[in-house]
Structures are given as C-alpha cells and as structure tokens.
Amino acid sequence: GDANGIGAQVDYEIVGIEPGAGLMELTNTALKDYELDDWTLLEGSSAAMVAQLQKAITNQEPIIITGWSPHWMFSSFDLKYLDDPKGSFGGAEDIHTVVRKGLEQDAPGAYRILDQFSWEPSDMEVVMVDITDGMDPSEAAEKWINANPDKVSEWTKGAQSGNGERIKLVYVAWDTEIASTNVIGKVLEQNGYKVTLSQVEVGPMFAGVANGSADAMVGAWLPTTHAEYYNTYKNDIVDLGRNLHGTKNGLVVPEYVDIDSVEDLK
Ligand code: PBE
C-alpha cells in the first residue's frame, strides 16, 4: 500500500536523531505498531535532522522527521505532527529534575533551587529562539533570567546561598536541554555555586547522576520518553518531579506534505 506515494518519495526513510534518544525508541515502537516494515529510521543527530529539514523546506521536498515540542522549529517553519491514533508516542508529558543521592545534605541551597525550578514551554521557547538566532546559550539564559525576576525568585525562595561548592550539571545537546540547563546553571551560579555544564549522551546522563559523578540533570522526559533509563536507575537517583509540563513527541512533516497520520505511511 502507499496510495499517496509518500514512501517512495522519501525512500521509506524517516530522519531521526541521536541513537539512544527516547524518541528513537518511540519511533521504532510506532514502526511496529503501524506495521511499517518497509520503513527505515535513520540515526543521526538533532542538529543534522534540523539541517535536513531546513534543506527540504528550501527545496519544497517531502521529508519526515522525528520531532518534539517545545522546539523552535515550530515557530520557524510551517510543520505538523502526524496523528498517532495508536498512541505509540505517548501523550503530553513532563520534564523532570533528577539529582544525585546526598546532594540535599552536601548542597542544601542548590538542592532547594533545583527542587523549586519550574517553568512553562513558552519560557523555554524564548531561550531556544535566542540561541537559534545565534546568541550564546549562557547569554540567552542570562537574558531570560533578567527578564523574569519573579519566576526566578520563586525558584530561589528560602534557599541558602552556596559557598562556592561545585555543582556539575549533565545534559544532552537537545535544544530543550541546552536552554533549561543553561538557565538553571546560571541561577545556581548567581546563588553562590560554582557550576559546570557537561554535555553527554543520554545513557551517561542518567548513569552520571546515579553514580554520583554528576550532581543533577533537568532533562528527564517522563513518564514515556525516558522510561527505560528511569527504570534502570530509579533506586539510585532522587526524582524532584516536574520542571515543565506539556511536551510532545511524534513524526513531523512540513505542512505541504499531503499526509495527516502515521497510518498514511502504510
Ligand atoms: N528529545 C528531546 C529527547 C528528550 C528531549 C525528545 C529529543 C529524547 O528523545 O530522548
């Protein structure tokens, strides 16, 4: 089948992101759920995926990518999620803050700030758009912090200042996590901590917090996207709950691609 010819037009290829990303697992699940045996999910990186998307749009060519929100690509391009009637990609989910065991005792102020960190997709988008437009991530973070003193003071409320203790934050180079990690890192810094941001792969991100070589991460997508990592490490980490609500995962195409549902790939 493939009445619309979309499979042939894109060589039965879906442009994916980093191997190990939750979204890659979800897409493989979707390929099974919808019996899309002819299709291949290409591994790559988030940056390469966006570059290919950009090129396809410039040439008005069909393309299917693995996409997620919040992401600046939705404000830069006319895109649509393909409907997912089987629910392979899960529903809207949350992003959680996860810290190492013992952080509360070792750096109570940092722990409290991390625990109180919470913002909206629209906040995160402001930071992401500035970074995409070429601003340095730490500058974009500082700009957002300066523009949102009320939100930031909710995070720091009641937190004692640090005395230069080191806090190591781990993150993956996803646009969402570049934004959130830079913002919370800067807030911790402004409150007396010496912060390092360390960019890693998704497995080592969870493993690092679990084995104590990292102090915290603010990019655990739950309950679906990172379920496997979470379940592997749940006894060795401290889950501080959600810092953002309303993410989404799925297959995404430019508006001009004439399909509406994952079922149309069959
Ligand atoms: N993402 C963005 C991640 C979580 C953050 C959807 C690319 C993932 O697939 O694991």
Q: Determine the Cα–Cα distance for residues 134 and 63; give it in Å rounded to an integer.
A: 25
Ranges for all domains in the chain classified under CATH 3.10.105.10: 93-246
Kindly state if the Cβ of 230 falls inside 6 Å of ligand 1: no
Beta bridge partners of 194: 166
Q: Is the pLDDT of residue 3 over 70?
A: no
Q: What is the pLDDT of residues 209-257, one digit of tens each?
A: 999 999 999 999 999 999 999 999 999 999 999 999 999 999 999 999 9
Kindly state if the Cβ of 174 falls inside 6 Å of ligand 1: yes
CA within 13 Å, CB half, 98? 28
Q: What is the pLDDT of residues 22-37, one digit of tens each?
A: 999 999 999 999 999 9
From the CA of 226, give the closest atom in ligand 1: 10
Ranges for all domains in the chain classified under CATH 3.40.190.100: 6-91+249-265
ipTM score over 0.85, yes or no: yes
Report how far apart, in Å, the C-alpha atoms of 257 and of each of 49, 200, 227, 244, 260 are: 17, 34, 32, 31, 9
* CATH level 2 (architecture), domain 93-246: Roll (3.10)
Q: Is the pLDDT of residue 160 over 60?
A: yes
Q: Is the pLDDT of residue 1 over 70?
A: no
Q: What is the pLDDT of residues 116-158, one digit of tens each?
A: 999 999 999 999 999 999 999 999 999 999 999 999 999 999 9
Residue with tokens 């940056």: 47
Kindly state if the Cβ of 68 falls inside 6 Å of ligand 1: yes
Residue with tokens 């065991």: 101
From the CA of 46, give the closest atom in ligand 1: 7
Ligand 1 pocket test target in 172, 177, 178, 243 with most atoms within 8 Å of CB: 172
The domain made up of 6-91+249-265 is a member of CATH 1.10.760.10 = no
Q: What is the pLDDT of residues 168-187, one digit of tens each?
A: 999 999 999 999 999 999 99
CB 216 within 8 A of CB 98: yes
Kindly state if the Cβ of 221 falls inside 6 Å of ligand 1: yes
